Structures are given as structure tokens and as C-alpha cells.
Chains A and B, each alone.
Chain A
Amino acid sequence: MKYYDKLIFELSKESRTAFSLPEDKFGGNLSDIPSDLRRKEGPLLPEVSEVDVVRHYTNLSQMNFGVDTGFYPLGSCTMKYNPKINEQVSSMPAFARLHPLQPECSVKGALEMVDALDGALAEITGMKHFTFLPCAGAHGELTGLMIMRQYHMARHDEGRVKVIVPDSAHGTNPASAAVAGLQVVTVKSKENGLIDVEALRDLLGDDIAGIMMTNPNTLGLFEKDIKEIASLVHGCGGLLYYDGANMNPLLGMVRPGDMGFDIMHLNLHKTFSTPHGGGGPGSGPVGVAEHLVQFLPTTKVSGFHGNFAVMMRAYAYILMLGKENLPLAGQYATLSANYIKESLRDAYKLPIDSICKHEFVFDGLIDDGSAHAPDGVGATTLDVAKRLLDFSFHAPTIYFPLLFHQALMIEPTETESVETMDSFIDVMHRIAQEASEDPMILRSAPHNAPITRPDETTAARNPVLKYQDTI
């Protein structure tokens, strides 16, 4: 990767163009619009040629790291390989040209695809039906919680305004609850990383709308008390919500519906291989058990039919894998995580010694090298992450979950070879060795990336948020 410094605006030269439009045969004149309704000056946009555009964005792309560049063990994000047939399918003109308000009789193929995907996801999760309107995981959480509230309202049980969220939950869980108008009650985890069932019992009552759970949880551990938890929450009149961000290891093995969950979302951009796109577009379909199907159509949470082109990719993935290979995805993802965990526990602190699912969490280095640092400051998880970049690996998720101070969350997925994982393991050992001998190597990393560490404090203190602020 090489450093490239331009912004597209800086390539601009008056009267250069890159667009291609037909000759004007209508003779429309915008000056016929009353001048009070028109803007005074044209917008500040670049004036560049087509080759300028292509070179600029190609150069930008070369400062980026993606799954196709290399190993991307970002915990809780399931950065598996994104099959290329998905892209071919999703851009087919027979779908790309459909207007969202076209009459049903003209979009039968699209409707059939959605029905088929709904059926496949229902079979995979044990839910009855899905809505595809949510555009991402957090959007799915919000939709699911709306369904939860509607269920209680329909039963004239409006006093259920609290939702229980474990302390290990994704940050979106409590945030989604707040947007849905629910109060958050936190349930603690035990030493072994699992929900404290006794503490949960104390929180239950007739003000509880439900619980949001991730299973396996964000430590990669299977909540094995799920049956008791489900029975307790249902017993008090609440519902169980399943955050499907961690569904990947359960493919073919365990269904949320069978564990007692009533509502769930899936991240099609995680478990079902659609590309993450630098932070979207994703798709967060929400599935419900049979007794909640009546509430699905009323959750109008986005403009039209959801991120349809993302849904097409996910369906292509399911068709490619078929019933034979979907379970292997779950099993191999689990095998990979356990393999890396067992290979690195001699150098990194493993706070919970247990078989994991698709991911696991270290609590920093065993020896942070503080004894060898001139200022007595050792290497942190942040420093390990930055040093990894020098070896052409993406960093794991860091400082999440919040249960450990130096959390380093690793999720390899099923699409990585043992050789890739072995070279990651070697590099992680080398980094641990460097830390113990000279932590400054880590603290000043990265050394080989397009830039060194950015000054985030200045960025926040003196915000420069657009090109116009720089001229």
C-alpha cells in the first residue's frame, strides 16, 4: 500500500467533464423556474475528466485493506470471503431496473426470490417468517424491539417497558432499546463469561418486555443455560430476542427458534457472505416465531423493500452452499477460532479457558514488556493491533467486549486456510516476543502502512469535516 495524498477536488480544472449525456432535444430552460426557488451559485463539485476519476479512486482503493487483500480477523464482524457470483447475480439488469413501486404482476421474479430467501432463512433459524426491511444489524434490532413492544401492547400489557441486556452485549443493543422507547436493565456476566442466571432471576417481573441475547455471546461462548433463561423470561411474560451477529458458528448445528427465541435478526453481511462495503450496505432481516407473525407487516422501518440487491447475494450464497455445506461453514468457523486460541494462549492472556465458538477474546499480552521500556510503559492491545498491520493482517476487534481492559477479539471464519492462520499465529508470537524485549517497536507501529498513527485528539478538538474547511 502506498500513500496518495489527493482529494478529488484538488484535481479539478474548470470546464473539464467526465459525464456523457444525450443532446438536449426538449429545449427546457431552468430559468423558467422562479428565481427565488433556484440556488444562487452552482454547487462546489469537482470538474475532472473520466481518467482523473478512475485513477483517483483506484489510488484511494490502494490505501484500503479488505477481505480480498488478506486475513481480516475482526471479532463479531464475520469477515468471511465474499463470493464473486453474488456480485454477478446482484447486478442483473432484470432486477436492477425494477422500480420499487411497480405493480406486483411486473415483479414476480423479485417477489419469488424474497419468498425463497424467507423460506430458507426460516429453515436455518427455526423462525416462521422474516421481514427484510431492516438495512443493517442495528436496524434489525430496532425492528425486533418494535415487534416486541407491539406484542405487549396488543395484550394491553403496556407496563412492560424494560429490556434486559447482558453487560457483554454489542453497543447497538442498548442503543436500539433506547430508540424503541425501552429502558435498559443490565444483567451481569459471571466469572465464566456467561449470564448470571441468579442475577437475571432478580430482575424479572411484570415490567420486563424481554431480553436481548447473543448466543454464542461476544466472548464466543455458548450460553448453555439458555433453556433455563428462556423458561424464566417466558415465565415472567417477556420475550427473547436473538442478536444474530454471532449466528455463523451455529449454521447447521443449532437453531435460535429451537432454543426458545421469539424474535431475531440476521446480518446477511456477516453469516451470509455479502460484502461489508466499508460499512454497509448490509441487510438485517428480522424473523419471528409463529405467534408473532401478525406483527411483521406493521414494522415500516425503511422506504421500500429493504436492501434488495444484498438479499439477492445472500440467496445466491445459500444456493451455492446447499444443505451439505452450510453446516460445514459453522463447524469450520468454530474449528478455526479454537485452533488460533489454543495456538496463542502461551503468549496472550486467555481470561476464560473454555471451548469457544466462532470467536474468542484475549485480555492483552502475558508480558507487555513494561520492564524493558525506558518509561516503564508496556505494549497495549492497541499496540499489538497496530503492529499487526505491518505484517499485512487486519487487526482483531479491540477493547470490546468491555468486560476486560485489554480485550483482543479474534474471529477467523471458515474461509481461511490453515496456512493463513499459521502465519498469523507466527506473527502474533513474534509481536509478543518483540513486546517483551522492546515494546517501543509496538508502541510506534505501524511502520509499513500508508500512514503512521493519526492524531485523533486534534481531529476531535478542531474538527475539519469537509473540503471547504481546508481552503
Chain B
Amino acid sequence: MSTFPYFPHTEEDVRRMLEKVGVGDLTSLYGDVPAEFLRTQPYDLPSAKSEEEVLSIFEDLGKKNVPLKVFVGQGSYDHYTPSVIPYLTQRSEFLTAYTPYQAEISQGTLRYIFEYQSMICSLTGMDVSNASMYDGPTAAAEAMMMGLACTRKKTRVLLSRTLLPHVTAVVENYARFHGVAIGYVECEDGVSSIQSMKDELAVGDVAAVILPSVNRFGIIEDLEGFADAIHEAKALAVQYCDPSALAVLRSPAEWGMDVAVGDGQPLGIPLSWGGPYVGFMACRKDYVRKLPGRIVGQTTDKEGRRCFVLTLQAREQHIRREKATSNICSNESLMALWVTIYLSVMGPEGMRKVNTLSYGGAHCLKDKLLCTGLFEEAFPGKPFLKEFTLLSKVPSETLQKALLEGGFFAALPLGIKVGDKEMVSFTVTERRTGEEIDSLVEVIKNVKP
């Protein structure tokens, strides 16, 4: 018998265990499986490999990816990761634990979730946060379901056309299967139209409205009057936010919203080709019983010491089964720890600086791009933070090709044309230097329209 590093079994161990169980060999443990289903052939898979061999397979795969300077956001932002985060989140006691079912030996997990909830509440201004969702788009879909649960018997949900497309796609997909009719708040000059929303609300039967904070064009939306109109229609006001931007922008609570959702990725989580990220979800306390997912609360132990537990579990699937508010079980706990450490490292001052640097870089790039004469303003005068949209006079394919050759991922086409010009999106985070911005502009200047 060959040994393998993850299996401690010696021949003698196996013999002794089989004897205790009372069977002759390992395959006899499958005596209850109908013979026709028992495999007799090995898998058609490669043979076992050494660590060095496996590493080199991944290194070779990695070489097939092209490293690019990222000047695109659209829901995934290239912010810096402080080095303490991977170091601390790799600690085995966090990494190899599961859901804190046994509170007495899970105080580490329970405490960081409590801190995470506190930070999400602080950024959004909401009263209660859950312990995390899969990602931003699924958190938005859960907010839709929450709206239905809170308003009873209503069947419609409104989405702003200015939400990021991948958010809209996921919410629409959940809606289709859950029997929810989706209506749209139309876009006017790059932002959600309040008149369009009021018209849709007047149709009736609206359970919730989902609006962006910073929208798909990068514009910071002015949502004055939106929440009041939504509440008049007895629907839930939901805002989809970039939590990094919330450190400086008006919070969902300040806009009068009931639920705040979004993706925690901009809080120092690597791009990682789209995951794992972490969805966040917070609400006003009136709605806590309908909030999906796990929630950690403070209490005391028998000696009166402060401690933390999973609480309000009567909402959850393992108790309520088909009557639960959601089916979520495993969420993105380790990524919640990631953003908790990020926000601890950054603090209020670091968050302000990240936003200031990104803001400055983005405005600098926008001015330089306009100077090339190859672009026009898409939404003149609209305020933005780190992401903006321009109209490209050069076909986006030509632009993309030149940028890739120059080592850049930038000017992502949004699939919207105005006359013969195409909308393209740019993002600048604090990781982008002045030199990188200049060389990006240089590459673009040399594009032949």
C-alpha cells in the first residue's frame, strides 16, 4: 500500500479498523451499493503528482494570462491590499474553522463578524447588518426577496437602469424563478429618473425599488425625494453601494433608504478574476426579522463575561426550512474578516485618502483623455468619484486592441452608442500612478481612428 501525505493510514491501521468494523476489505464497505453502480475502473484522470509538479502546472497556466494595468471597475476595483490582511486571514484558526455553531470555541469568528457588522452599519448608516452574503449582485437579489417578504402579496420590484449590468442580470434571474415582475426606473442624462420611478410606482403593486449610489456610469446619483416617493407607495427603498465610496459619500440612511446592499470587494479584496468577494446587506431595525443570513449578537456567559453568539436564528433555513427568509447557509465569512481587517487598517483617515487619491487620479485621467480629441463628455457636469464614462470617437474594438498591446485594460465598452460614438468606461484607483496614467494616454494618443 502506498502512503499519501493527507492520509495517515498505514496497512496495519487499516487492518485493525476493518477488523473492528467486521468486514474483510475496503470495498466490502460498499456492500450496500447495487453492484451495477460500483465502479471497477479507475477514473480517466492524471496520476498523482508531487507538490513541485502541481505548482509548475499552475505557473504554466499563469503564464498564459496577460498581466494588464487595470483602468476598469464596473463592480470590481483594483484597490491596494495591506499586507497584514493575507497574513492574518491565513491564520489556520480562522481559515480552517466552519460556521461558529459552538460559540465557546468560536469566539474569534463571532467577534470579527460582530466587528464587521458594526463597520457595515457605520458605512451605510443602517441599524443592523448580517454576517455577509455571496457577493453584491446576490445581496441585491436577496434585498428583492426581502422587499417581497416585508410587503406581503406585492409582486413587482423596480430596478434602476443605471445599476451595474451584472447586478441587474442576477436580480432579474432570481425574479424570473420566484415569480416577481421586474419594472424599470429609466435613465435620464446618466441618472435614475424620479419621474419614471413615480410613474412606475403609480402602476401599483411595487414591493421594493433598487437604486444605485454610484451608478454604472460612475456618476454619484442625487437621490433627493426618491425614498419619500417609495415610502408613499409603501415599498422598501434599497440602495446598491460601493462601500469604499460610502466612507465619503452620503450614506443610504442619509438618503432615507431602508436597505443597503453591495459588494465588499472594493475594501481591499484582490480582483481574483471575480471571486471570492463578499456581499453585504444592512437594514433598518424594523426589518431585522426579515433580514436573511446569519447575525451575531452580544451576550454574556455564565460568569458574566462578554461573549458573542449567532442570534435571531428563527429566520434561518435550518429552523424554518421552506418558510425561511432565504436559503443561504455558508456565506463569505473569511472575506468578511478580510474587509474587517482592511477597515481597521485604513480607519477613517485611510478611507478618506483612498477616495481622495482615486478621485484625483480619475479627474486627471479624464482631462488628459479629453485633450487627446478622441473622446467627448458623455454626461457633462455630472459628479463622479473614481469611475467615469466618455464617448469614444474611435471604434471600441480599435481602442481595445491598441490598449491590450500596450498592456492596459481600459476603456471598457458599455454597449451603448450615441450617434456613431460609443460609451466607454474608465476607473482610476489609488494603485494607479501618474506615470501609468501618462503612458495610458500616450497609447491612446497613438490610436489611428
Contact = CB atoms under 8 A, between A and B. Distances in A.
A3 interface: yes
Interface string B246-263: 111111001000000001
Interface string B95-128: 1111111111111110110110111011100011
By CB atoms of chain A within 10 A, which of B98, B174, B271 has the most? B98
Interface string A287-329: 0000000000001111111111110100010111111111111
A305 B272 CA distance: 10
Contact of A100 (B22, B76, B249, B278): B76
B80 to A, nearest CB: 7
A468 B45 CA distance: 54
A19 B299 contact: no
Contact of A96 (B112, B167, B270, B297): B270
B199 interface: no
B255 to A, nearest CB: 10
Given A45-B351, A64-B97, A69-B93, A222 B26 contact: no
Contacts of A395: 101-102
B32 to A, nearest CB: 5
B329 interface: yes
Interface stretch (A177-185, A231-239, A365-373, A429-437): A177-185
A467 B112 CA distance: 11
Contacts of A19: 82, 345-347, 349-350, 353
Contacts of B166: 303-304
B249 A415 contact: no
A328 B178 CA distance: 42
A69 B92 contact: yes
Given A33-B383, A64-B97, A92-B62, A181 B178 contact: yes
Contacts of A321: 4, 6, 48
A403 to B, nearest CB: 14
By CB atoms of chain A within 10 A, which of B84, B274, B278, B343 has the most? B274
A172 B249 contact: no
A347 interface: no
Contacts of B358: 28
A93 B62 CA distance: 8
A328 B4 contact: yes
A135 B105 contact: no
Given A43-B348, A123-B44, A101 B104 contact: no
B107 A26 contact: no
A85 B32 CA distance: 36
Interface in B127-141: 127-129, 131-132, 134-138
Contacts of A34: 222, 383
B68 A470 contact: no
Interface string A111-147: 0110000001001100000000001111101100110
Contacts of A62: 93, 108
A423 interface: no
Contacts of B67: 94, 97
Contact of A414 (B7, B32, B94): B7
Interface stretch (B181-189, B229-237, B301-309, B369-377): B301-309
A50 B123 contact: no
A175 interface: yes
Nearest to B168: A300
Given A43-B247, A65-B93, A74-B98, A280 B104 contact: no
Contacts of A454: 103-104, 299-301, 307-309
A42 B301 CA distance: 34
Given A40-B254, A45-B344, A47-B347, A320 B51 contact: yes
B285 to A, nearest CB: 8
Interface in B31-64: 31-34, 36-39, 42-49, 51, 53-55, 57-64
A99 B332 contact: no
How many interface residues does chain A have, given as a range?
35 or more
B105 A449 contact: yes
B404 A103 contact: yes
Given A63-B108, A414-B7, A96 B271 contact: yes
Given A66-B92, A123-B44, A306 B317 contact: no
Contacts of B167: 303
Contacts of A89: 54-55, 58
Contacts of B49: 319-320, 322
A163 B44 CA distance: 34
B437 to A, nearest CB: 9
A112 B276 contact: no
A105 interface: yes
B274 to A, nearest CB: 3
Nearest to B54: A319
Nearest to A414: B7
A49 B249 CA distance: 25
B215 interface: no
Interface in A232-268: 252-255, 258-259
A331 B26 contact: yes
Contacts of A385: 102
Given A135-B332, A335-B21, A252 B39 contact: yes
By CB atoms of chain A within 10 A, which of B51, B295, B358 has the most? B51
Nearest to A134: B134
Given A64-B109, A301-B173, A322-B49, A39 B122 contact: no
Contact of B138 (A57, A69, A97, A302): A302
Contacts of A451: 103-104, 107, 301, 303, 305, 307
Contact of A120 (B45, B59, B224): B45
Contact of B104 (A45, A328, A446, A470): A446
B78 A99 contact: yes
Contacts of A63: 105-108, 111
B449 interface: no
B323 interface: yes
Contacts of B287: none
A291 B38 CA distance: 23
Contacts of A300: 169-170, 172-173
Interface in A410-430: 414-418
B343 to A, nearest CB: 5
B319 A277 contact: no
A172 B39 contact: no
Interface string B1-23: 01011111100011011101111
Contacts of B31: 355
B178 A452 contact: no
B447 to A, nearest CB: 16
Contacts of A44: 118, 122, 348
A278 B337 contact: yes
Given A109-B64, A278-B100, A331-B29, A258 B37 contact: yes
B361 A26 contact: yes
A466 interface: yes
A338 B21 contact: yes
Interface in B284-326: 288, 294-303, 305-309, 311-313, 316-324, 326
Closest 9 CB pairs of A and B: A28-B360, A304-B274, A26-B360, A94-B62, A322-B48, A277-B334, A100-B274, A64-B108, A66-B96
19 contacts: A25-B434, A28-B362, A45-B119, A57-B337, A89-B54, A110-B273, A135-B332, A138-B329, A180-B177, A224-B33, A254-B37, A278-B95, A302-B135, A319-B57, A323-B42, A323-B44, A455-B299, A465-B114, A467-B118
Given A45-B119, A175-B321, A275-B96, 10 more contacts: A4-B107, A22-B430, A39-B254, A97-B271, A174-B322, A179-B177, A277-B97, A278-B95, A304-B273, A450-B105
